[in-house]
Every structure is written in C-alpha cells, then in structure tokens.
Amino acid sequence: MIFALLLAQQNPWPVWLDSPTADRLFYKSAPYNWNIDRIPAFARDMYATGVGHAMAYEALVRGQAATLETKTFRDIDWVLHHPPKFPVDEGAISPTFGRRYGALEKVFDWAHTLHFQVIDVFMHPGWTDQQKEQEVDRLWVNYKSQPYAITGLPMNMELLDSQPYSGYFRSHYPKVNALFWGYHWLQTVNYDMLFRVSTKDQASQYPFVFDQYHKTELYKTDRPFMPMTAEQSPRFAKRFPEIANSFDNLHMLHDNVNDILASPGMSNLERDRQVKIAIARVLESQHATEFSGGGEPKTLHDHRHPDGLPGMGMMKGADEHSMYMAGMGWMDMATCSHCSIPLNDGPLWGATVSADGWTMSVRCPMCARDMASETPGRAIIRAATEDPNRVLILISDDEGNWTSNIPGVMFLEKFGEHPSCSEWSRAFTSLEALKRFQSTSAEYKDATPLNLVEWSKLNHGKPDTYRRIDKPNPYGNGDAR
C-alpha cells in the first residue's frame, strides 16, 4: 500500500514539500483567460471562495480556533456576500499559514488555477464545443505535468476520510465547515452550467445558481459529506473524469488539512508531518503507474468508480452499482434517476435535472420534467435536442412555469413503454426540425407537436420501472433531509 510505503521512508513525501521557495505556477497563456468575468456575479462569487480557507487557516495557526464559529465565521460570511471584483491573493490574507505551509499553498493554488482556466475555456466565445474540449484536455496535460498536481484517478473517499483526525473540524466548527462545503458546491456545480452550453445561454442560469448558493448551500450544517463533482456536474464528469476526480481529491485534501490544523493534542511538528502525508496521498506523482477502474478496495490503490462514471471515487458504503447521495438516498449512477432504465450515450444523451442543490441524469425530457415536478421550488433542465450543438436550457420559477433558451422549442411525446422513452420523448429546436423527424419515422408521424406551455402541463408521475435501492443510510443520522 502506498501509504505504508510512504511511512516507511525517512521522509514520506517528495523533496519539494520541504522546500521554502515560493515557486508558484500561474495561468497558461491563452486568449480565453478571465472569461469568467463575462458573468460578473459568478466571477465575484468564485473569487470570494479563495478567502474562507485562508481566514480559517490563519486563525488556526495563530491559536485562535475559539473565534472560528463567531468572528471568523462572520468575517468569511461577509466576504461571501460582498465578494471582491478581482482574484484574491490568499497569501496576503494568511501570511502566518503561508510561511509555515508554503508547499501546501502551491498545491492548492495550482489546482485552483485549473478550476478557473477550465471555466474560462467553456466561457470563451467564438470557439466550438470541440475546440473547447480539446483545449481543456491540453490544460489537464499541462496541469499534471507539474510536481504540485493532484491525481486525476478516482480515490476511495471513505478511506481518505477515515484518518485518525477525520471529522474533527466539521463536528466542532459546523458553521464554518458549512461555508467551506457550500463554496465547494459552487466550484463543482458550475461546470454543467457551462459545458457544451452556448455562451449566450450561460448567464441566464446563474441567478438560479446564485440563489441556491447564497440562500441554502452555504449554511447546510447537516451534509454527511462534501459535495462531489460528479454529483453536481455529471455531464462534465463523464467527459473529463480525471479533472473531476482531481477536484474531489483537492477538496478532500482541504478537509484533511482542516482536521489536522483543528485537532487538539498534536504538536506543531506532528501537524507539519501529517499535512505533508495528506498531500503526498493525493499527488499525481504518487499514483503515476496506476489506472482507473481497479485496485485494492479501501486502500490508496483503490481507484474503482461507480458504473459508467469514472469521474467519481468510491463513497462510504458504495459499490460499483450504487452510492448514497445526500437528499436523494441510494442511487445507481448508470441508470435514469426517474425511470431506472440505463442512461443513453451519444448525441441523444438525455437530460439532467437540477433542483434543491442536486443534479441528476435522466433519459429524456419527459423524465426530466416529471422528476423536476417532484421537488418544490425552482429547477433547471438541460436536455439534448436534434442538434448536437444546441443544448436546451429550461428554467422554472417557484410555480413551475418554464422559460426556454430556444424560443421555438417543440416537443415530441408519444407516451409508451419507459425502456424506449428516449425514442418517444424528444426536444427539437423548431417545429420544422420536429416535422423533419416525423417525416422519416412512420411511428411518430401522427404525434401532435407540443410547444413549451403544452408540454409543461403534462405529468405522467413516477413510472412503474423505477426501482428504489433500499439500503440503510451509511452516514447514520448525518443526513437530516
């Protein structure tokens, strides 16, 4: 096991972890940099996420842990609601922490750079989806070529969160931890908001995300586990599994460091040692010869993932066929969350539904609409159309009234057996496009085209094919919903 081998060495970490030099890395030079500013509210919220950890880490290393749930919480919360217009130098906020854990800051900063540059690429106007995806692939190669890179392999989350110190921070400082996990939610939910979505259709989604983030996600103290990228952006995680995994591994490293710095009874020397071990556990260089999808269960060699979703490591109590999601229960990530039929791949990939802080994949527009109706409040549906380059974005208000990014969107819905729902439930960019499809398909030539208002009034309820996975909550009472 890698961890055991590391401990057996005199210094169980790469040499650069002991280096005091400030050799940080910066953005890859490119025309898309800072495109995040095309949605100012989104940019400011993302810039503000760099502040919270820095404030908390500075308080912890200065011996001011007693202020975390009071003054420090208020300071972080104020910044999150009065976000900066420009990126923040975390070193200026946490100089004491930076002097002591400069190597850790290099790891964090390099991963955060990847966060932002991927966003910038997706928000770059004038590039095709193919060009954007090719550039994101290049960004990943550039990222992992550096010594500070975090592995893109799925890691066993239960193992990483089962260290002797694990859970101390979230149990003793739940309000501050909620803020941290809240902006990890924002850092993972945004990718499906942007991925293969026209730049002109991206900004309209952010008011929905903004409200969910500021009103709810920042204050959830009952989450059993941190938000995971594939839970919040499943389409992005399927296309870029290594990047999704690296983000989750980064956030778990944050959790480990939170716990190490907050846990009582450790000497400063032992804290320093544990931080370096936590970094080494997730580095790309420590897993370079390993591969996704295999390994020894519940060890650092465990790189298994749920069926059909290589962009997610194994969770507590999970197996390849099911995992527990807060607020949703046990889910099979390879099947439709509404009808339990295996998901589609290819141009007609189906749809996703975002509501109440979660995002789930479904097979067709009908499944998306009916699933959205099960949860009170606002929702977003992102769905395939007959045009592989045009994603349908539907946003509902609190009364369930839907608006569309495609003014003339039309729907085919000739209700039949759910195993074939992706055939008889489809979205089209225009009536002409729907009629062209009908002219080539005798089975659907007599189906009545539905406009958005007509389609939104339908609801077939929960299908008979839906199969609930009935297993105990592996987190006990951790999920209050």
Does residue 326 sit within a domain?
no
Under 8 Å CB-to-CB from 363, ≥6 apart: which residues?
336, 338, 339, 341, 343, 344, 350, 351, 421, 422
Note the pLDDT of residue 12.
64
Report helix, strand or coil for 63. Answer: coil
- Do 364 and 423 lie in one domain? The reply is yes
How far apart CA 141 and CA 158 sit, in angstroms, is 28
Number of domains in the chain: 2
- State mean pLDDT over 422-440: 97
Note the pLDDT of residue 7.
44
Beta bridge partners of 189: none
Q: pLDDT by residue (tens digit) across 380-397?
A: 999 999 999 999 999 999
How far apart CA 131 and CA 137 sit, in angstroms, is 10
- Do 68 and 145 lie in one domain? The reply is yes
Split at pLDDT 50, 70, 90, the class of 265 is confident
Note the pLDDT of residue 3.
44
Report helix, strand or coil for 181. Answer: helix
Is the pLDDT at 2 greater than 70? The verdict is no
Is the pLDDT at 378 greater than 50? The verdict is yes
Note the pLDDT of residue 22.
66
Does residue 204 sit within a domain?
yes
Domain encompassing residue 188: 2-287
Helices 241-262 and 40-61 cross at an angle (nearest 10°) of 30
Does residue 328 sit within a domain?
no
- Do 180 and 252 lie in one domain? The reply is yes
- State mean pLDDT over 280-290: 93
For residue 420, give the CATH number of its domain. 3.30.450.410
Note the pLDDT of residue 11.
54
- Do 6 and 65 lie in one domain? The reply is yes
Q: Tokens standing for 15?
A: 């040499």
- Do 16 and 145 lie in one domain? The reply is yes
Does residue 360 sit within a domain?
yes
Split at pLDDT 50, 70, 90, the class of 345 is confident
Is the pLDDT at 431 greater than 60? The verdict is yes
Does residue 479 sit within a domain?
no
Average pLDDT, the chain: 93
Q: Tokens standing for 40?
A: 């100012």
- Do 282 and 382 lie in one domain? The reply is no
- State mean pLDDT over 303-317: 94
- Do 81 and 20 lie in one domain? The reply is yes
Note the pLDDT of residue 13.
75
- Do 112 and 227 lie in one domain? The reply is yes
- Do 142 and 279 lie in one domain? The reply is yes
How far apart CA 287 and CA 285 sit, in angstroms, is 6
How far apart CA 52 and CA 364 sit, in angstroms, is 39
Does residue 273 sit within a domain?
yes
Report helix, strand or coil for 362. Answer: strand
Q: pLDDT by residue (tens digit) across 142-185?
A: 999 999 999 999 999 999 999 999 999 999 999 999 999 999 99
Does residue 127 sit within a domain?
yes
Nearest CA to 478 among 221, 176, 215? 221
Is the pLDDT at 5 greater than 60? The verdict is no
Place of tokens 């760099």: 50
- Do 152 and 271 lie in one domain? The reply is yes
- State mean pLDDT over 232-239: 97
How far apart CA 150 and CA 160 sit, in angstroms, is 14
Note the pLDDT of residue 479.
47
- Do 176 and 266 lie in one domain? The reply is yes
- State mean pLDDT over 316-328: 91
- Do 124 and 244 lie in one domain? The reply is yes
Does residue 38 sit within a domain?
yes
- State mean pLDDT over 229-236: 96
pTM of the entire predicted model: 0.95
Least confident piece of the model among 148-152, 177-181, 325-329, 440-444: 325-329
- In the chain, the amino acid numbered 440 is T
